[in-house]
Chains A and B, each alone.
Chain A
């Protein structure tokens, strides 16, 4: 079921947890609510540099590393830490966008459904 996401990014931990999370009942609610395909472009330190691409497919409930085959509803670009901040609710997506910490390509209405509650929250050891 779970395929390992091979990346050193912090975001990869979120994606990995999401992969399993989307199989759960709560995860299925997310699929019903959103039902879109997001492509995430994450850079370790600086936007546009050493980026890695991930797909968060909230139609099929799949999360994996690589580009989406076809046209995602929206593509987001983040620096690693900023994505973690957004996914944990520390930084709201609008603010991230205004501050230029989040770049959006694709449908705006699709982008508006991108909220922190679609991501599982990591528990602390």
Chain B
């Protein structure tokens, strides 16, 4: 895609009465946001009010009014007919060609226009926009009310000339629909701020209120009739845009591009239809001189390739005039803009246009400008990350909506947004040399990277984030903690999880709630959730040694040596009996051997403390010294034979040192004491599988999964066992989590 497409706009002109000039931003926006094939449809829905145009204000720009217009005829001949036709109609000195163009558009003529010498150009511009819009987009309103309404509105605007406040005379019943009313309200609100800009806002509001009252329109009328359902939102966009433009013009700023672009953008985002109307639309919104200049330049560049030399000369000439025009703009921001520099350069011949590409005669930035924008646009066109744009537009529409409800929204909008937007816009698009584009690209790349990373690292960034169940019947329970404790005691682990989740949602700082939830998850064979719970428990109560031990065990299961060692160290550090063994500030530096040594010290101090032996068993599991681990757990079990979790730990250690047959006995002990100990059931399955007894392992996995369908590891192991034991037919059931079928096939 060439720079020309971006800056000059790529679309052609097909509709008389419109311009072929998509302006630079329009072209860019179009390029960015993909096919504009839906523009027309949408734009046709844009509100317009037939009959509102004030004929006396329609003013045709005289030729001297537009610098560079002297090129028009030759441009017209060289370019396609429609363009020249339009240009003549639009800018031409005689009214008749305008009239012709108007008729061509198939629309009825507005009321006979008169040249209004003392009307300010901006005002006439404004009127022209509306009159064009009416002609281009809307069938006549029909019915007798149009002339009445026109006359009425004319008298309203005449009140400006006569310097007399508008005193409404009750008009005949017009039978305006709600949609019409809303349009009138919105239009007149916008116009009145413009027309009476010199008289202050209050006056303007009083005027418009008088008008609305006389037409029996509620000032706060907001919704359209059902037949126009979705118009209102669009209308707001529309009005926002106009508000921005008007205030920008009032301030003499050259800023309307940005907000118009955004308007177009948000409209387009909605559901837009046809590029031609889009261009048309765009042109209508751009009545300023420089845009006309630009149009011509664009027209001239159209001829590239036909007569390159003449073309470049012409371009240069155009650019020179344009640069001059631009340079006359007193706004310092604009004076500094890179666009002006760009045009100046072009006029000096530093840059030439060739094959639709801007080529620097001296080399460098313009080319870069073209390329970077091209890439950017291409990437956007690919649509992959278009939602970034969506957000932006949403933001815009939010701002728009909120201000639109306000009576003083016009001014507010201008104050709030336009300036920032302009700056942002200029930063992004104009200051290539200051690497603003580069920055943008960089951050875009970062964003893409983040996206990619986000996918990959999602588990690790949210690794220990607790995942609550979607639906929880215990929400709203009077005492979920007590309920959870009771369910846990009865061995209904998955139910207990729900009750305890309800508890910790109610009381997020309840250490006991989180701790028991963590224990429950561990017994339910879900170490990740267990860790997540225990981390929260530790946050609430950093010195709880049960929590620290549980974290040490779970991290050992997850093969995370460093974390496991850290928690086992702090177990010792926070144990009231053993914390004297080491000074607190040295704890974090201790390695596995040193920590193990300290625990042996502790065991000598208190040989009958089963917990110390338990931690030693975990430590030896961590260092994969399974024989010593088995010894430690056996010692602990002599002291605490009724601890089912100890039996499981012993079993797991035996299994991990390839003594699966012995492990089964230990697991059986654990299950005798706690029949619903999911972890032990799952471990039984693993032991059978590791012994090559896959069919049997399936039964245990299925049993475990019936009690906790969320035990991911068990599902994976079940799948392996099924495929190896020749039950590939059930792998599908496994993938579909079809426990009923699996249970049927493998009852235990």
Contacts and interface: CB of A to CB of B under 8 A. Distances in A.
Interface string B654-680: 011110100100000000000000010
B683 interface: yes
Interface stretch (B29-37, B106-114, B139-147, B554-562): B554-562
A105 interface: no
Contacts, number: 83
Interface stretch (A52-60, A70-78, A82-90): A82-90
Contacts of A8: 561-562
Contacts of A4: 624-625
B470 to A, nearest CB: 23
B559 A24 contact: no
Contacts of A125: 553, 556-557, 618, 621, 648-649, 652-653
A45 to B, nearest CB: 11
A25 B692 contact: yes
Contacts of A84: 559
Interface stretch (B381-389, B582-590, B713-721): B713-721
Interface string B561-581: 110000000000000000000
A123 B651 contact: yes
Contacts of A49: none
A124 B720 contact: no
A89 B652 contact: no
B686 A88 contact: no
Given A20-B657, A24-B658, A123 B525 contact: no
B399 to A, nearest CB: 42
Given A5-B624, A24-B660, A116 B527 contact: no
A26 interface: yes
A21 B158 CA distance: 98
A123 B655 contact: yes
Contact of A124 (B560, B683, B716): B683
Contacts of B719: 89
Interface in B128-152: none
A29 interface: yes
A96 to B, nearest CB: 13
B303 interface: no
Given A17-B658, A88-B713, A89-B719, A124 B692 contact: no
User: Considering residues A23, A116, A121, which has the most beta carbons from chain B within 10 angstroms of its beta carbon?
Assistant: A121
B683 A123 contact: yes
B691 A24 contact: yes
Contacts of B713: 88, 124
Contacts of A24: 658, 660, 690-691
Nearest to B623: A4
Interface of B: 525, 527, 553, 556-557, 559-562, 618, 621, 624-625, 648-649, 651-653, 655-658, 660, 663, 679, 682-683, 686-687, 689-692, 712-713, 716-717, 719-720, 724
B691 A124 contact: no
B663 A123 contact: yes
A121 B652 contact: no
Contact of B720 (A25, A29, A117, A122): A117
B618 A121 contact: no
B679 A90 contact: no
Given A17-B658, A24-B660, A89 B683 contact: no
11 contacts: A5-B624, A17-B657, A25-B691, A27-B658, A29-B692, A89-B720, A120-B690, A123-B652, A123-B656, A123-B687, A124-B682
Contacts of A39: none
A47 interface: no
Contacts of A120: 656, 658, 690
Nearest to B687: A123
Contacts of A113: none
Given A27-B658, A89-B719, A121 B557 contact: no
Contacts of A2: 657
A123 to B, nearest CB: 4
B559 A10 contact: yes
Contacts of B720: 89, 116-117
B531 to A, nearest CB: 13
A118 B658 CA distance: 14
Interface in A36-80: none
A125 to B, nearest CB: 5
A123 B649 CA distance: 9
Contacts of B556: 125
Given A90-B712, A122-B557, 5 more contacts: A10-B561, A17-B657, A20-B658, A120-B656, A125-B553
A17 B557 CA distance: 13
User: Considering residues B556, B655, B690, which has the most beta carbons from chain A within 10 angstroms of its beta carbon?
Assistant: B690
